[in-house]
Amino acid sequence: MSAIQKPRAYSYIRFSNATQAAGDSYRRQRDEAEKYCAQHGLELVDAKEYSFFDQGKSAYKARHLDDTGELARFLSYVQDGTIPKGSTLLVESLDRLSRERVKDALPRFLDLLNQGINVVTLADGRLYTSQYNELDLIISIVQMSRAHEESATKGKRVSAAWRRKQASARTESVPIGKLRPLWLDYTPDGYVPIPERVEVVQRIYKLAQDGYGHRAIAAQLNQSGVPSFSADRKNASGLWANSSIARMLCNRSVLGEYQPHQFIEGKRVPVGAPIPGFYPPIITEDEFYAAQQAVSSRRQSQATKPGKRFNVWQGVSQCGICAGPMHISKRGNSRILRCFRNIQGLCPAKPVLLPRSEEVFREILAKVDSLSLVQSNQGKLQHQIAVCDGKIAETRERLESLQAQILNLSGSLPASIITVMQRLEDDLSQHQQEREALREDIAREQIIDKEEFFSRLDLVSYEGRARANSLLKSLGVQVAIERVGEARGKKAPVHYSIVVAEKYGFAFTDYSGQLEFLPLSSPTLELALQQGEAIPSAVRAHVLAREHLIAQEEQERTRLTALTKIHSFKEIAELEGISVREVKRRIEGRRG
């Protein structure tokens, strides 16, 4: 005769915090389940796919019942018949099933029973079945109500205690305890920097300023054998990840600031202004904002994976035909610049040789305010500009965040939000004025001796190439690259059209190794003449005539725009003796 199969039992184990995980909560709950099954003739199913274990899931907020929870998986098995009727679910106590309000938790509990699943609470040995009576129901309600109230009370106490700590931190600079930045230690005397970790943070900020992205920084640290700060806590591999670097580079705790937070509707949101000087600072403001500017610059240029040689055209170049981004690729043994849309088959642009394009890149540097790349005093000015750019980017982000929050508010705006926004707008205006003043200081000095400039220019090292690229991006330089036609027997010339901050421009045409410079504005014409460039008289006359025409068009646009304040377009057209379409064209600055 075959052995009679025992009724099956399944153990559900849950704990919601790291303290329980570090203790023996799992072992205890598992041992109790095995003991109960042995005493009552049940077969404890221990196959991996039938093990239901929620680590770090909160029953108070029903997170164990979401799509990722193990109890949700158990319920799905019951509903599809994988777990048959008559099976038993073993839990330590009913509060392991739910600490929600009774009106939410009770239907789920009764649903299990009504589907033929027995529930055993191991703490008191009580068995709940589909044949439950009123006494069973009353006991389960009392158990669930007690569990919910205990969780709610505990949550309120913890929240209140934490708010008291935050208030003391703000008014008396009292340390908040062991929860701290990972490069600091907590001692009876307060927070103390951990030297080896501080060095790592400073290295991360230096690499960011040198043009390295999150991925490249993480790779350098991992290759150097530097363990992640969370290696002994929750990161078993001990490796740095891109996200860790990203968080480090925007963490204002490195400046010594502490930003109190609280949870509102499950979201962690800042409370009040940051508290300066709360932690020992390990990064200067200049270093912090210079790193922010570098990160922002890479983000705007949509830089992706790093290469061994920094791509100097990154975020600066575009296709002269379709304005698509230019990517580096290989063709045989040659490296080329190629329109990305051409790679996709969407643009007819032809590629250009990368080494030759970098010669043009060097010439472009000689025509813009790039002395900071070779002169220490100019370098300091450029660094200050980078700091201003970082402050501008951060202030704009905070303004945009506030504006997004305002859209979700109903009724009148709180006075505090209006005050903060006004202060941020004032800060933004001040940073922009400082940046413009620094730009004027840099513009006073120009590159006259190109050969000396080139001899001191570093376009070999990764850092040097990154600095040159970052400089052009900060100046608002955009370069459109296009191969112009195909000449028989020789390669087509490559045209480079350069615009600086949408204000002035110039161009280069590369005729198979011979560069021809074309100034398109009086500033570049004057600089080219000072550098000894041979500019034909016809070109000089064309540049001056073009600028005179542009100035006249600007005056006309200003005059007509002023008329729109007192006349309609039709009335202006009649006064000027032109069509309404022509009036609009001149005001918009469109060429005929």
Q: Please, are residues 463 and 210 in contact by the beta-carbon 8 Å criterion?
A: yes
Handedness of CA 320, 325, 330, 332 (dihedral sign): negative
Q: Please, are residues 533 and 549 in contact by the beta-carbon 8 Å criterion?
A: no
* Section 392-400 average pLDDT: 82
Q: 559: closest CA among 577, 591, 583? A: 583
Whether the pLDDT of residue 69 is over 70: the answer is: no
According to the model, what pLDDT value does residue 87 have? 92
User: How far is Cα 592 from Cα 576, in angstroms, rounded to an integer?
Assistant: 17
Q: Please, are residues 105 and 148 in contact by the beta-carbon 8 Å criterion?
A: yes
According to the model, what pLDDT value does residue 22 have? 39
Provide the residue count of the chain. 592
Of 241 and 20, more confident: 241
* Section 287-304 average pLDDT: 70
Q: Give the pair of three-digit tokens for residue 262.
A: 């609280």
Which pTM was predicted?
Answer: 0.49
Tokens 């205006």, residue located: 429
DSSP letters, 460-481, are: SSHHHHHHHHHHHHHTTEEEEE
Q: Give the pair of three-digit tokens for residue 206.
A: 């230096």
User: How far is Cα 499 from Cα 316, in angstroms, rounded to an integer?
Assistant: 10
Q: For 479-520, how does the pLDDT look when each residue is reduced to its tens digit (9 = 90+)?
A: 999 988 765 545 789 999 999 987 788 999 998 778 899 998
* Section 142-163 average pLDDT: 56
Helix segments in 238-375, DSSP class H: 242-249, 285-300, 340-343, 354-365
Q: Please, are residues 108 and 97 in contact by the beta-carbon 8 Å criterion?
A: yes
Tokens 């800060």, residue located: 427
User: How far is Cα 261 from Cα 274, in angstroms, rounded to an integer?
Assistant: 10
Q: For 165-209, how does the pLDDT look when each residue is reduced to its tens digit (9 = 90+)?
A: 656 656 655 656 667 888 988 888 788 899 999 999 999 998 888
According to the model, what pLDDT value does residue 425 have? 86
pLDDT band at 456 (very low <50, low <70, confident <90, very high): confident
Whether the pLDDT of residue 321 is over 90: the answer is: yes
Of 47 and 61, more confident: 47
Q: Please, are residues 477 and 469 in contact by the beta-carbon 8 Å criterion?
A: no
Q: Could you give the percent of the chain with pLDDT greater than 90?
A: 14
Q: Taking all residues of the chain, what is their mean pLDDT, rounded to a whole number?
A: 78
According to the model, what pLDDT value does residue 494 have? 93
User: How far is Cα 262 from Cα 166, in angstroms, rounded to an integer?
Assistant: 10
Count of Cβ atoms closer than 10 Å to residue 387 Cβ: 24
Pairing of strands 317-319, 477-483: parallel
* Section 70-88 average pLDDT: 86
Of 154 and 482, more confident: 482
pLDDT band at 256 (very low <50, low <70, confident <90, very high): confident
Q: For 210-248, how does the pLDDT look when each residue is reduced to its tens digit (9 = 90+)?
A: 878 888 888 889 888 888 887 665 556 778 888 888 888
User: How far is Cα 53 from Cα 29, in angstroms, rounded to an integer?
Assistant: 11
pLDDT band at 322 (very low <50, low <70, confident <90, very high): very high
Whether the pLDDT of residue 75 is over 60: the answer is: yes
Tokens 């025992």, residue located: 6
3-class SS at 591?
Answer: coil
Q: For 562-588, how does the pLDDT look when each residue is reduced to its tens digit (9 = 90+)?
A: 998 898 999 999 998 999 999 888 888
User: How far is Cα 338 from Cα 349, in angstroms, rounded to an integer?
Assistant: 8
According to the model, what pLDDT value does residue 234 have? 59
